[in-house]
Every structure is written in structure tokens, then in C-alpha cells.
């Protein structure tokens, strides 16, 4: 019971700080939807932009952070940081005990559950809260947005205007590079 009480006190004192980790390559309206929901629960959210070894990046870490900064602007309740390494370690360093993850479909759940349990094994005080997106963002992911943009499709309803522009610029530059290197 004593252990229980001290943990609860500690949890209470940190209860309102959460980390929202992800690749954000690039930030989409789905990410912003989850962020907004998290801010209704927490006093402060640290967006942690990470390198995911399983996902090759279109934008560099610095570019992803700068896009998030432009989209979110100066907002006292949100900090944007990048990091390489374990999310569980990053949370410990920042004194946070809660991770936010978004859920789209049931298919997200299996992988997310595994990651959440591994994170808790690495940092026993860390809990993951899953927030559900609104129906209109159910199908939205950075990967889908990149595929659509690469094929010249309109992504303006999936991402903020500034990100839409950056996507078009990036794929135009990559297409020019491809042309130049063609034998
Ligand atoms: P990761 O590579 O860690 O999955 P992402 O940037 O793809 O990083 O996603 C970060 C978080 O945002 C994840 O929890 C993901 O489920 C959530 N997310 C991304 N898009 C959406 C969306 N459309 N609706 C709900 N959650 C989303």
C-alpha cells in the first residue's frame, strides 16, 4: 500500500505532462487531431520526433521538426523535440510517465500494444494512452499521404497547406534528380 501511495503521488505530480512520439514524416491532419485531443487532457505535450529504423524518411529530422513548428506555431502547451534512441529513455529524461499514441483501426492495435508493453518493460512507470482519431482521419497516414503526393495527387485535405507545398516541392526535386541520373 505504501508503495502504491507514493507511486500515485508521483503520478499525480506528473500526470499532466505527456510525450507524443512518432515519425511525423510529415505531420498530417491525423497527427494534429490526436494532438488536439491530448491537449484537452494534459497541460503540456512534448512532441518527440524520432528516427524509426523501419521507415525510410522522406524528410530529415530537422525538416520534420521545422514543419511541425510552422504548423503549430508558438504554443506554450506544446514543445517539439527530436531524438534518436528509445522513447522509454526519452520519457524518463523528461520526467514524463505518459505516452500518447493514436489509433486508427483495430489493425493498429496489435503493434501498438506490443510497443507499449516493451516500453513499460524498459521503464516500469511509463503508461501509454491511446486516443482515437475522428472518422475523417481514419485512413490517413504519412505513408499514404506520401504515396498520393508522389503520384501527383492532391493532398491538400490531408495535411496543412504548408506541408502540402513542401511535399510537392520535394517530389518535384526528386523527379528532376531521377531525370538527371537517367542513362
Ligand atoms: P510512427 O512511425 O511512430 O508510427 P507516425 O508519425 O506514423 O509515427 O505516427 C505517430 C502517431 O500518430 C502514431 O501513434 C499513429 O498511430 C498516430 N497517427 C498518425 N496518423 C493518425 C491518424 N490519421 N489518426 C490517428 N492517429 C494517427
Q: For 88-139, what is the HEC assignment?
A: HHHHHHHCCCEEEEEECCHHHHHHHHHHHHHHHHHCCCCEEEEEECCHHHCC
Residue 117 in grid coordinates:
508493453
Q: Is 104 a catalytic residue?
A: yes
Question: Is a pLDDT exceeding 60 seen at residue 13?
Answer: no
User: What is each CA distance from 101 to 35, 45, 55, 113, in whole angstroms?
Assistant: 9, 12, 17, 10
CATH fold group of domain 4-139: Rossmann fold (3.40.50)
Q: What is the mean pLDDT of residues 140-158?
A: 95
Among the atoms of ligand 1, which is closest to the Cα of residue 55? 2
Q: Whose CA is nearest to atom 16 of ligand 1?
A: 102
Locate the domains of the chain by residue range. Answer: 4-139
pLDDT at residue 48, as a whole number: 97
User: Which atom of ligand 1 is the closest one to the Cα of 54?
Assistant: 2
CA-27 nearest atom, ligand 1: 6
Q: pTM for this one?
A: 0.88
Length of the chain: 183
State the chain's mean pLDDT as an integer: 88
Section 100-127 average pLDDT: 92
Q: Whose CA is nearest to atom 18 of ligand 1?
A: 102
**Cα pseudo-dihedral 36, 39, 41, 46, rounded to 10:** 120
Q: What is the pLDDT of residue 144?
A: 95
Task: Supply the pLDDT for residue 8.
Answer: 40
User: Is 168 marked active-site?
Assistant: no
142 catalytic residue (yes or no): yes
The answer to whether 44 is a known catalytic residue is no
Residue 83 CA to residue 100 CA, distance in Å, equals 16
**Alpha carbon of residue 89 to chain centroid:** 17
Residue 78 has pLDDT above 70, yes or no: yes
Closest Cα to atom 9, ligand 1: which residue?
Answer: 22
The share of the chain scoring above pLDDT 90, in percent, equals: 74
Whole-number pLDDT of residue 79: 96
C-alpha cell at 57: 524518411
Q: Could you tell me the three cell numbers for 163?
A: 506541408
- Which residues line ligand 1 at a C-beta cut-off of 6 Å? 22-24, 28, 30-31, 34, 52, 55, 101-102, 104, 108, 133, 137, 140-142
Marked catalytic residue, from 7, 13, 55, 70: 55
Give the pLDDT score at 183. Answer: 64
Q: What is the pLDDT of residue 53?
A: 78
Amino acid at each position: 500500500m505504501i508503495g502504491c501511495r507514493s507511486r500515485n503521488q508521483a503520478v499525480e505530480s506528473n500526470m499532466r505532462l505527456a510525450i507524443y512520439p512518432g515519425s511525423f514524416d510529415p505531420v498530417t491532419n491525423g497527427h494534429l487531431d490526436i494532438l488536439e485531443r491530448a491537449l484537452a487532457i494534459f497541460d503540456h505535450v512534448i512532441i518527440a520526433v524520432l528516427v524509426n529504423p523501419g521507415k525510410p524518411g522522406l524528410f530529415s529530422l530537422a525538416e520534420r521538426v521545422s514543419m511541425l513548428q510552422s504548423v503549430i506555431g508558438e504554443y506554450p502547451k506544446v514543445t517539439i523535440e527530436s531524438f534518436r534512441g528509445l522513447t522509454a529513455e526519452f520519457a524518463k529524461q523528461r520526467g514524463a510517465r505518459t505516452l500518447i499514441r493514436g489509433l486508427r483501426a483495430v489493425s493498429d492495435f496489435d503493434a501498438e500494444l506490443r510497443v507499449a508493453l516493451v516500453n513499460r518493460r524498459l521503464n516500469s512507470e511509463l503508461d501509454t494512452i491511446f486516443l482515437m482519431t475522428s472518422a475523417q482521419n481514419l485512413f490517413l497516414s504519412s505513408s499514404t499521404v506520401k504515396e498520393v503526393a508522389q503520384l501527383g495527387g492532391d493532398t491538400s485535405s490531408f495535411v496543412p497547406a504548408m506541408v502540402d507545398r513542401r511535399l510537392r516541392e520535394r517530389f518535384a526535386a526528386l523527379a528532376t534528380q531521377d531525370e538527371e541520373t537517367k542513362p
